Amino acid sequence: MQYQTIKGEKVPSLGLGTYRLTGDACEGAVERALGMGYRHVDTAQMYGNEAEVGRGIEDSGVERGEVFLTTKVWPSDFAHDRAISKTRESLKKLRTDYVDLLLMHWPPDGVPLGETLGAMRELQDEGGVLHIGVSNFSPSLLEEATEHAEILCNQVQYHPYRNQAALLAQAQEMDYLLTAYTPLSRGGVQGDAMLKEIGEAHGKTATQVALRWLVQQDKVSAIPKATGEEHLAENLDVFDFELSEEEMDRVFSLSR
Ligand SMILES: NC(=O)c1ccc[n+]([C@@H]2O[C@H](COP(=O)([O-])OP(=O)(O)OC[C@H]3O[C@@H](n4cnc5c(N)ncnc54)[C@H](OP(=O)(O)O)[C@@H]3O)[C@@H](O)[C@H]2O)c1
């Protein structure tokens, strides 16, 4: 596993996404992934699968302290007391005393940004949350958020067809983690001719090239969702090759 260092914190560059994973499939995928070497799991209160994620972590036998675990508060729960009670519920479901990262799932709509981030800071003071972050925030809103809390991460849609140059530059300048969600464009990168061609030179698939391109960028992590052993293994196997500067630029050109 490779790590990004953000504000002195080491975060595994690759994590497991769990949106739309529920029930036994979710519990099994989390357990399997951790058994294979994944050390970063992404869930959210809205996904309705925190209990399964918690059981999967427990079943894996991997020490809680070795796993970087993220959950997110949904906008309808952004009011101070709701954010606190929903996150305490998350900890119970996840069978843990803390999450490594708690995110505001989307920008606020009504509740002042400082109210939600203030509640998240209280959870941090209690020890139930190690780091605070946001998701789907623009550069200007991210900047505003830093007036209320230290922001470790902004999780946004990022893959070869999605240009995130402004956020990437900001993440590198301000030292925050840019976590790429939907990094496979929901499986859409699999058949890409250019990614396939680049992959052939390294004995890798188009999917692996897309993930390697992400995790090779400073301050970027990726959280592909996968269910079965084959996809989980393919996605994890991106740390034994490197894309040249020219190959990186070719992938960047897909979004221009
Ligand atoms: N913050 C937000 O607002 C937000 C929004 C969307 C997503 N997310 C997070 O980001 C995670 C990932 O995004 P996503 O689930 O939207 O999309 P994704 O990771 O880009 O794609 C997932 C799809 O790709 C398939 N897949 C996985 N590995 C593959 C491989 N090696 N080859 C071919 N297909 C493969 C999966 O199938 P199988 O399941 O069958 O393996 C699944 O259908 C989510 O699960 C969630 O944790 C966050």
- Backbone torsions φ then ψ of 20, nearest 5 degrees: 75, 10
Cα–Cα distance measured from residue 94 to residue 41, given in angstroms and rounded to the nearest whole number: 11
Distance 80 CA to ligand 1 centre (A): 31
Cα–Cα distance measured from residue 27 to residue 167, given in angstroms and rounded to the nearest whole number: 33
Mean pLDDT of successive 10-residue stretches along the chain, which has 256 residues:
96 98 98 98 98 98 98 98 98 98 97 98 98 98 98 98 98 98 95 98 98 98 97 98 98 92
- CB crowding 159-178: b at 16 or more within 10 Å, else e: bbeeebeebbebbeeeebbb
Q: Is 190 in the pocket of ligand 1 (CB under 6 A)?
A: yes
DSSP characters for 49-104?
Answer: -HHHHHHHHHHHT--GGG-EEEEEE-GGG-SHHHHHHHHHHHHHHTTSS-EEEEEE
pLDDT the model gives residue 168: 98
Least Cα distance to 188 among 234, 224, 219, 241 occurs for 224
Least Cα distance to 101 among 75, 71, 79 occurs for 71
pLDDT the model gives residue 222: 98
pLDDT the model gives residue 8: 96
Which is the closest atom of ligand 1 to the Cα of 183? 20
Distance 237 CA to ligand 1 centre (A): 16
Which is the closest atom of ligand 1 to the Cα of 72? 1
| Shortest-distance Cα residue to atom 33 of ligand 1 | 187
Whether 47 is catalytic: yes
Point out the catalytic residue in the list 38, 47, 176, 181: 47
**Are the CB atoms for 182 and 35 separated by under 8 Å?**
no
pLDDT the model gives residue 187: 87
Distance 223 CA to ligand 1 centre (A): 8
The kind and range of the H/E element at 135 are strand 129-135
